[in-house]
A and B are shown apart, each in its own frame.
Chain A
Amino acid sequence: AQSVSQHNHHVILSEAASLELGCNYSYGGTVNLFWYVQYPGQHLQLLLKYFSGDPLVKGIKGFEAEFIKSKFSFNLRKPSVQWSDTAEYFCAVNARTGRRALTFGSGTRLQVQP
């Protein structure tokens, strides 16, 4: 079975600060990796995804993530956050074969102070 760990449950940053959110997964096979964002009162939106190829993937709104296979990690980064980035961020994984459903981490609540 897969599992996903997000180490930071609540992060508070000032505008223009750099962001890194940790995500580690546990699974013995090949996986697809995702970061979703949920703005207050809204549904989940895809930020970025990794299926194969370049382990550094770029998503929307200036976010990027790096897949490090040896560390089973897929950390999310942004060089300079904005107040509008205040949201909850979820890392998710599914196996490359078999069940298509996602396994989610518990989420990280990001609060950006102006």
Chain B
Amino acid sequence: DAEITQSPRHKITETGRQVTLACHQTWNHNNMFWYRQDLGHGLRLIHYSYGVQDTNKGEVSDGYSVSRSNTEDLPLTLESAASSQTSVYFCASSENLAGGGTDTQYFGPGTRLTVL
């Protein structure tokens, strides 16, 4: 079955360190998204991509970057981790509407990141 996986599931790091969170989907979806979930805020969009070599900033992109070198993966990098980036991070993917996709997003299991 197609799926979307994230790794690691839990990560503790120190302020100032670079951290990369992996996201891998086997749906062959063009669209991929990164959200962070914080109490009282729901999920907020960090970055998104519509295809290989395409990346776009979301509402809370400061301090984060992504790259899309293939269809399956969209790693999220925290350039210099800060305590304010302690959160749960969710990756999601959806089909390309032009290809008849339904626009439904499928979510990974999440990565809980703690920055000390």
Which residues of A approach B to under 8 Å, CB–CB? 4, 6, 9, 32, 34, 36, 42-46, 49, 51, 90, 92, 94, 99-107
Contact = CB atoms under 8 A, between A and B. Distances in A.
Interface stretch (B37-45, B63-71, B74-82): B37-45
Give 5 nearest A-B pairs by CB, closest first.
A104-B42, A44-B107, A104-B43, A106-B42, A43-B109
Contact of A42 (B50, B94, B109): B109
A101 B48 contact: yes
26 contacts: A4-B42, A6-B42, A9-B40, A34-B105, A36-B107, A43-B90, A43-B107, A43-B108, A43-B109, A43-B110, A44-B43, A44-B90, A44-B107, A45-B107, A49-B104, A51-B102, A51-B103, A92-B43, A99-B48, A99-B56, A100-B97, A101-B33, A101-B45, A102-B45, A104-B42, A104-B44
Interface in B18-43: 31, 33, 35, 40-43
B40 to A, nearest CB: 6
A100 B94 contact: yes
Contact of A105 (B33, B42, B45, B58): B42
- Interface of chain B, main secondary structure: strand
B42 A107 contact: yes
Contacts of A42: 109
Given A102-B43, A107-B42, A46 B104 contact: yes
Most chain B CB within 10 A, of A4, A34, A106, is at A106
A102 B90 contact: no
Contacts of B106: 46
Contact of B43 (A49, A51, A90): A90
A94 B58 CA distance: 13
Contacts of B31: 100
A39 to B, nearest CB: 12
A100 B43 contact: no
A15 B37 CA distance: 28
B46 to A, nearest CB: 10
